[in-house]
Each structure stands twice: as C-alpha cells, then as structure tokens.
C-alpha cells in the first residue's frame, strides 16, 4: 500500500495536467486567438477523428474472449450512474425552482456526465504508473472507458436523450417569479403529503360523515373558500422567439415531444385563471345563415382533414432515425473494434498473436499493423485537444456576476453536490457490493478503479452545444450557471475519490 503522501500525489498529479490543458484552451479563448469557428472545427476533429482512433487503438489489443466478460459490469454501471443522476436531478426539481427553459435540461445535466476527455486523461495518467502495471493497464483502462462512451452516445442520441433539451424550448416562456411561486406551491404540497402519509394508511371516518358525495359536498362555504379562486390574475408570460427545427447528428426525427407527453396546467399560489387547452369543433356540413325572411340552413360539404400517416410509415421513420443516430464515428469505431478484438483471425491482422498463423509484412509486423500505428498516432491528439476545447467552452460561458439573486442557487448547489459528492459515495458502495457479489472481478483492479472513478464526473459540455442548437438563438444561459460550480468542485472531489479508491483497491 502506498504511503499517504505518495497516495495524495498520485491522485493529484493527473488533475494538474488536466488543469493545465484546460487552462490553455481557456487562455487562448480569452486572448481572442481561438475563435468560435476554430473551436467548433477542433471539436469536430476530436469527436469524429481523434476519439474514434483512440478507441480503436486501445480496444483491439486490450479485449480478448477471456476478458470480454468485463463489458457486462461496465455497461451495467454506466446505466446505474445515469439513472442515479436523473433521479437526483428529479428530486432537485421537486424542491427547488428551475428556470422554465431548463425544466428538462436539468435531467440531462444530472444523467449524462463528461465521459470522454476528463476520465480518459486522468485514468490514462494513473494507470500508466505504480501501483498499476504500466502500459498494459493503461491500454486496458482506455478499453474499459469505451464501454461508458458507447452507453453515453447510445442513450443520448439513438435513445432520444437529447430531445429533452429541445423540449425546454417548446411553447411560450414563463417568468422566473411565476416559476418560483409554482415551486413553492409544489414544495408545500409535497411536505403536506408527507405529513399526511401516516393518516392515509388507516382511513378513518368521522362521526356523522356521509359516504354520499352530494351530502359530503354540502359543507360550510368557509371550508371550501381556499379551493375556490376569488381573484383572477393572468399568468405573465413571455413569447419566445420562433423555434427552429434542427437536425442534430443526422437525427431526422422531429424533436417535439410525442402526444403522450403529460402537459400540466400552470398554476400559482395566488388565485390564477387556468385556461384549459380546448379546441371547438364546428360541423361544417350545417352552417346556419340568417336572412330577412328567417333562418335558413345551408348544406356545405364537410372539409377533408389531413389524414395521419400510416403506422407503418411512422415506424419506418423512427427506425431510420434510430439507425442514422447509430452511425456516429465513435459508435461505429467502438462496435467495429470489439468485433475485430473478439475474432482472432481479424485481430491477428492488426496486432501480433502467437497462436495465429498469418503471414507478416516485410518488417515482421502483422499485415495491417500500420493501421493500428496510425490510429494510435492520431488518437494521441484526442485527450489534449478535447481538454483545450473544454477550456474554450468554459471561457465562453456567460456568468451573471451581479445577478446571483435571480439564479436558482439552491438547484445549482444541490446539483453540484449531488454529482460530485453524493453520487461518488453511492458509487463506491455499489461497486463494492457488485464486487462482493462476484459481478465485478475482485482481481481486476483496473476494472474496479474505472467503475468507481466514473461516479465522480461533472455534466457533459455536450449539453452546452445541444442547448445552443435547440434554443434557436445560439445561447446557453442557464446551463452555464450549473456547469461552473461542478467543474470547480471536481478538482477536490476527484482527488479525494482517486486516493480513496486506490487505498481501497490496493
């Protein structure tokens, strides 16, 4: 076991390298020498070229038919962490007010963490030296990370997680004051239900009460006055600019929520007029026309309503959209890499395998080893370039310095603590439980470390780009206030978790 001083240094050193890379991107952005167009191009290179090459160069040599069983626990842990984050965000939404244009975005912020740049940088640095086994464990760790990245892309794009960001910008905006009032009402209702929960277990009937609903409604007016509005006040609303339907990452399906989405009326603690969304249908076949001689009925042929598309076309459109979302370079690279790694004759074309009898190239290497070399060379640019793009994105976030009173400070603080404190604690217990149950191999120290480390990751900056696209204005004012505290807290939380996990594993 490492001494305490060495343990702290091993845990802190990778984060120092991370901070330097992020700081470089932050500095050149503030110096106005890394414009938006350049940052966007660098991000596209990282996402579509460098990251797929890095995954390919690590997965092919690392995975074998003997250790492919580790893929199951990795996928399970990835889904568990996303579920925990969404549940924490949902509870925050119940007890704190959230801006109307971030009511679904907070669920995305809670569920989807930064699964690419930050963990790849830190894990590669830690597993490359003691107490791990060096380059072999480093390659295996990046291969394990690919499972989390695969789950991230599948759940965010093909499974429609990104559409929740788009739902925030459907319909008119609501003032923050009105949202705060609704949040207070909801909070009172939740606490009232919790206080009345024991009484609901054993229902009791008061003497003289009537089961007849008509008699039960015959109560003094003072008992029902609280539920009957006496003063009518309309809801202040702002009309949001015209929305823009965009296709993000080849997803051709509309981002509007389906018909079965529950739409709740907007209410406030003060008496408020609630206008139900009703539609009046007029039978166009009978229109009454008044003339001096009397009332005359005129028959007019009914108007033909547009027929809804057949179910077969709807299903075909959804399947096409799902498959097109799968055709992202990182997803293709990961799936292709796993296929090559598990088929020995294919794997022998890229990396040396003693049991495979395949003619080598003139230099004694496998015939396609040059592809593996090129992938390793290009993939080396993925982590530093991605971290610089992260620094550039943080530098462009607008922080309202003198408007903290107008920000949802309670929700911002709760989400930061939930992501960087509560989730890591839960993650350690879950990973230890799965290890004791035999689901996670206790002898695979790299697997245990990767599973624990991924519990302490801030919200993905991908949500910033999604918000800018779906907002129609290119702004992401709400997500920035939620991101910055998480990344500030990440340095301390990640250092403590890394040191504790190394102490626990070794």
Does a structural domain hold residue 287? Answer: no
Does a structural domain hold residue 271? Answer: no
Does a structural domain hold residue 441? Answer: yes
How big is the chain, counted in residues? Answer: 506
CB 113 within 8 A of CB 81: yes
Task: Give the closest residue to 156 by CA, choosing from 123, 99, 118, 115.
Answer: 115
Does a structural domain hold residue 263? Answer: no
Decide: residue 329, CB within 10 A, 0-12 exposed, 13-18 middle, 19+ buried: middle
Does a structural domain hold residue 266? Answer: no
Q: What is the C-alpha separation between 29 and 34, in angstroms, rounded? A: 5
CB 483 within 8 A of CB 464: yes
Q: What is the C-alpha separation between 48 and 263, in angstroms, rounded? A: 37
Cα dihedral across residues 359, 361, 367, 373: positive or negative: positive
Using a CB cutoff of 8 Å and minimum separation of 24, what contacts does 125-134 make?
Answer: 125/13, 125/14, 125/17, 126/10, 126/11, 126/14, 126/449, 126/498, 126/502, 127/446, 127/449, 129/10, 130/2, 130/10, 131/2, 131/10, 131/502, 131/506, 132/445, 132/446
Q: So what's the pLDDT on residue 179?
A: 81
Residue 54 Ramachandran class (φ > 0 left, ψ -120 to 50 alpha, else beta)? alpha
Provide the pairing of β-strand 237-238 with 286-291: unpaired
Structurally, how many domains does the chain consist of? 1
Q: Phi/psi of residue 173, each to 5°? A: -80, 160
Q: So what's the pLDDT on residue 357?
A: 83
Using a CB cutoff of 8 Å and minimum separation of 24, what contacts does 216-225 make?
Answer: none
Task: Return the structure tokens found at 50.
Answer: 């460098």
- Predicted confidence pLDDT, tens digits, the chain (506 residues): 667 778 888 888 888 989 999 999 999 999 999 998 898 899 889 989 999 999 999 999 999 888 899 999 999 999 999 999 999 999 999 989 999 889 999 999 999 999 988 999 999 999 988 889 888 999 999 999 999 999 999 999 888 899 999 999 998 888 877 887 887 777 777 777 777 776 655 554 554 544 444 444 444 444 444 444 444 444 444 444 444 444 444 333 444 444 344 434 433 344 443 343 444 444 444 444 444 454 444 455 555 555 666 788 888 888 887 777 778 898 899 999 999 999 999 999 999 988 888 888 998 899 999 999 999 999 999 999 989 998 998 888 876 666 666 789 899 999 999 999 999 999 999 999 999 999 999 999 999 999 999 999 999 988 888 888 888 777 777 888 899 899 999 999 999 999 999 999 98
Does a structural domain hold residue 82? Answer: yes
CB 157 within 8 A of CB 249: yes
For 43, the domain range is 4-171+328-505
Q: Phi/psi of residue 299, each to 5°? A: -90, 125
Q: Phi/psi of residue 176, each to 5°? A: -60, -35
Q: DSSP letters along 57-98, please?
A: HHHHHH--TTTGGGHHHHHHHHHHHHHHHHHHHHHHHHHS--
CB 338 within 8 A of CB 144: no
Q: What is the C-alpha separation between 171 and 265, in angstroms, rounded? A: 13
CB 65 within 8 A of CB 346: no
CB 398 within 8 A of CB 478: no
Does a structural domain hold residue 233? Answer: no
Q: Phi/psi of residue 464, each to 5°? A: -60, -45
CATH of the domain at 339: 1.20.1530
Residue 306 Ramachandran class (φ > 0 left, ψ -120 to 50 alpha, else beta)? beta
Does a structural domain hold residue 187? Answer: no
Q: So what's the pLDDT on residue 306?
A: 55
Provide the whole-model pTM: 0.73
DSSP state of 231: S
How far is residue 183 from each of residues 42, 151, 176, 197, 455, measured CA to CA in Å? 41, 33, 10, 21, 29
């Amino acid at each position: 076991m490492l001494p305490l001083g060495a343990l702290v240094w091993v845990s802190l050193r990778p984060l120092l390298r991370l901070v330097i890379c992020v700081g470089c991107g932050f500095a050149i952005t503030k110096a106005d020498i890394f414009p938006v167009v350049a940052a966007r191009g660098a991000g596209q290179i990282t996402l579509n070229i460098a990251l797929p090459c890095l995954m390919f160069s690590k997965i092919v040599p690392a995975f074998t038919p003997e250790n492919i069983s580790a893929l199951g626990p990795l996928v399970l842990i990835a889904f568990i962490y996303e579920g925990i984050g969404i549940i924490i965000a949902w509870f925050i939404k119940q007890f704190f007010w959230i801006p109307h244009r971030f009511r679904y975005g907070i669920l995305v912020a809670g569920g989807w963490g930064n699964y690419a740049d930050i963990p790849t940088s830190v894990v590669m640095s830690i597993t490359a030296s003691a107490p791990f086994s060096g380059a072999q464990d480093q390659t295996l760790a990046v291969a394990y990370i690919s499972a989390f990245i695969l789950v991230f892309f599948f759940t965010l794009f093909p499974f429609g997680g990104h559409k929740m960001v788009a739902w925030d910008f459907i319909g008119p905006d609501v003032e923050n004051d009105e949202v705060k009032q609704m949040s207070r009402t909801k909070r009172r209702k939740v606490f009232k239900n919790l206080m009345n929960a024991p009484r609901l277990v054993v229902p009791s009937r008061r003497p003289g009460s009537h089961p007849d609903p008509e008699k039960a409604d015959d109560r003094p007016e003072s008992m029902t006055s609280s539920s009957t509005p006496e003063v009518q006040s309309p809801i202040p609303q702002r009309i949001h600019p015209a929305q823009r339907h965009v296709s993000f990452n080849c997803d051709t399906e509309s981002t509007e929520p389906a018909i079965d989405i529950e739409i709740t009326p907007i209410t406030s603690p003060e008496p408020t007029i609630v206008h139900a969304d009703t539609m009046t249908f007029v039978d166009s076949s009978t229109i009454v026309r008044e003339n001096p001689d009397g009332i005359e009925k005129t028959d007019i042929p009914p108007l033909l309503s547009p027929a809804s598309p057949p179910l077969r076309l709807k299903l075909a459109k959804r399947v096409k959209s799902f498959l097109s979302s799968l055709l992202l370079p990182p997803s293709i690279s990961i799936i292709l890499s796993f296929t090559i790694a598990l088929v020995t004759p294919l794997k022998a074309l890229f990396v040396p395998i003693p049991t495979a009898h395949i003619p080598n190239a003139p230099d004694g290497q496998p015939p396609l080893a040059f592809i593996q070399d090129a992938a390793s060379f290009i993939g080396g640019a993925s982590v530093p370039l991605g971290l610089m793009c992260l620094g550039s994105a943080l530098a462009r976030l607008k922080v309202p310095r003198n408007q903290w009173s107008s920000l949802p400070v309670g929700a911002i603080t709760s989400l930061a603590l939930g992501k960087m404190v509560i989730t890591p604690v839960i993650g350690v217990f879950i990973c230890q439980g799965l290890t004791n149950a035999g689901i996670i191999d206790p002898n695979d120290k790299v697997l245990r470390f990767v599973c624990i480390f991924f519990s302490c990751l801030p919200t993905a900056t991908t949500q910033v780009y999604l918000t800018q696209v779906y907002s129609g204005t290119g702004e992401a004012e709400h997500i920035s206030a939620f991101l910055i505290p998480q990344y500030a807290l990440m340095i301390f939380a990640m250092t403590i978790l890394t040191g504790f996990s190394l102490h626990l594993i070794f």
